[in-house]
């Protein structure tokens, strides 16, 4: 699959000069003056949805305007992001962008919007780590043992995800590449369906988000083999990292941030960035996200988030080409 990313367009949207720190003009000082919409491209209860609702509550308190979270799931996040890209660039519609959105152009060849040119970055908000989990019927007790088992039984073991290009899909393929494990990807319509299949023993493994995995592991319904974080998670202190579990150098984490339609005034983007940075520094917010298996990202500028997105677009395009990854 041959997909080229137009570097000039990426730099134009995601690598613009630093936002001015000057006082906002009069028209921007009156912003916001009506309700705000945060589009989440996944269903209620998903990590981006939870993050959006935490942020929306604080924004509403600070800006004294209703902040509505609108779920627009479908097509592995493309439907919701398309809605954001095609919205009026007036600062009243933003969306949650995450890892998946940077692989979709390479994986599908074409999407209905240009990830680089049609959206402007505001700020990265959170890092999310995953847990490699298996049904208790699977004999593997470590990530290495799972890889060994997959190599010994080529094509017999499966791993599930919430859809083609979803984080669980990408992490699973990265695991296969790192360990030479021969496992079959089984995409579902969403992560909830994949987890139910895992609980029912219909698939062999999954890289689940921490918030989903922890209660199921603690209840004895699933076995955790490893976490993708660089250090052990406080929620699962007895579960080793991927490196400790026999897969060294496995460095992959999810991210979630806020973007707006291209053309949104820079002063409005700056105001959003300032407020989001304030919110993400609040101890109550950081503790809430930690309980959900998320790590609040350090304060970052629009340009810095743009550099992250640009790097991810390039990284996953190379990955798709190198592995021949295709939508199942």
| Under-70 pLDDT residues of the chain | 1-28, 328
Predicted local confidence at residue 67, as pLDDT: 98
First to last CA, the chain: 14
Q: Is residue 32 part of a domain?
A: yes
Query: Residue 141 domain-assigned?
Result: yes
Number of domains within the chain:
2
Residue range(s) defining the domain that contains residue 141: 130-227
State the DSSP H helix or E strand holding residue 131, giving kind and residue range, or none if neither: strand 130-135
Domain-embedded: residue 178:
yes
CATH number (domain holding residue 154): 3.40.190.10
CA distance 52 to 141: 35
Verify that 24 and 116 share a domain, yes or no.
yes
**What pLDDT, on a 0 to 100 scale, did the predictor assign at position 97?**
98
Beta bridge partners of 158: 184
* DSSP for residue 77: G
Output the pLDDT for position 75: 87
Q: Compute the distance between CA of residue 115 and CA of residue 205 in angstroms, rounded to an integer.
A: 31
> Is 154 part of a structural domain of the chain?
yes
Taking the C-alpha atoms of residue 108 and residue 1, their distance in angstroms, rounded to an integer, is 9
Residue 245 belongs to a domain: no
Q: Could you tell me if 191 and 52 lie in one domain?
A: no
- For residue 27, the model assigns a pLDDT of 52
Are 310 and 15 spatial neighbours (Cβ–Cβ below 8 Å)?
yes
Q: In this structure, are 53 and 161 located in the same domain?
A: no
And the tokens for 166? 């979803």
Which pLDDT score is estimated for 299?
95
What tens digit of pLDDT does each residue of 131-150 get?
999 999 999 999 999 999 99
Measured CA to CA, the distance from residue 263 to residue 226 in angstroms comes to 43
* Domain shared by 38 and 116, yes or no: yes
Cα separation, 167 vs 161, in Å, equals 8
Q: What is the pLDDT of residue 17?
A: 35
Residues 155, 267 share a domain: no
**pTM score, whole prediction:** 0.84
Q: End of a domain among 192, 210, 227?
A: 227
d(CA 258, CA 98): 9
């Amino acid at each position: 699959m041959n997909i080229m990313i137009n570097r000039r367009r990426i730099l134009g949207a995601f690598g613009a000069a630093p936002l001015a720190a000057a006082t906002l003009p009069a028209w921007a000082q009156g912003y916001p003056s009506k309700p705000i919409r945060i589009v989440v491209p996944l269903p209620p209860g998903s990590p981006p949805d939870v993050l959006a609702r935490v942020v929306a509550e604080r924004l509403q308190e600070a800006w004294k305007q209703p902040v509505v979270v609108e779920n627009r799931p479908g097509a592995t996040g493309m439907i919701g992001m398309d809605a954001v890209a095609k919205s009026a660039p007036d600062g009243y519609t933003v969306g949650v962008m995450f890892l998946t959105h940077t692989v979709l152009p390479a994986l599908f060849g074409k999407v209905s919007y240009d990830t680089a040119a049609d959206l402007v970055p505001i700020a990265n908000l959170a890092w999310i780590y995953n847990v490699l989990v298996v049904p208790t019927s699977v004999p593997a007790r470590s990530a290495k043992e799972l890889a060994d088992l997959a190599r010994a039984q080529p094509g017999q073991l499966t791993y599930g995800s919430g859809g083609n290009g979803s984080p669980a899909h990408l992490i699973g393929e990265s695991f296969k590449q790192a360990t030479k494990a021969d496992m079959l990807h089984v995409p579902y319509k969403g992560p909830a369906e994949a987890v139910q299949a895992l609980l029912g023993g219909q698939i062999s493994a999954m890289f689940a988000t921490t918030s989903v995995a922890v209660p199921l592991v603690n209840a004895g319904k699933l076995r955790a083999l490893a976490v993708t974080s660089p250090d052990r998670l406080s929620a699962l202190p007895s579960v080793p990292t991927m490196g400790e579990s026999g897969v060294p150098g496995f460095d992959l984490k999810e991210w979630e941030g806020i973007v707006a339609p291209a053309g949104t005034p820079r002063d409005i983007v700056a105001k959003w960035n300032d407020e989001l940075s304030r919110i993400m520094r609040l101890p109550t917010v950081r503790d809430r996200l930690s309980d959900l298996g998320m790590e609040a990202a350090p304060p970052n500028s629009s340009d810095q988030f743009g550099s992250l997105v640009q790097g991810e677009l390039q990284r996953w395009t190379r990955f798709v080409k190198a592995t021949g990854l295709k939508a199942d």
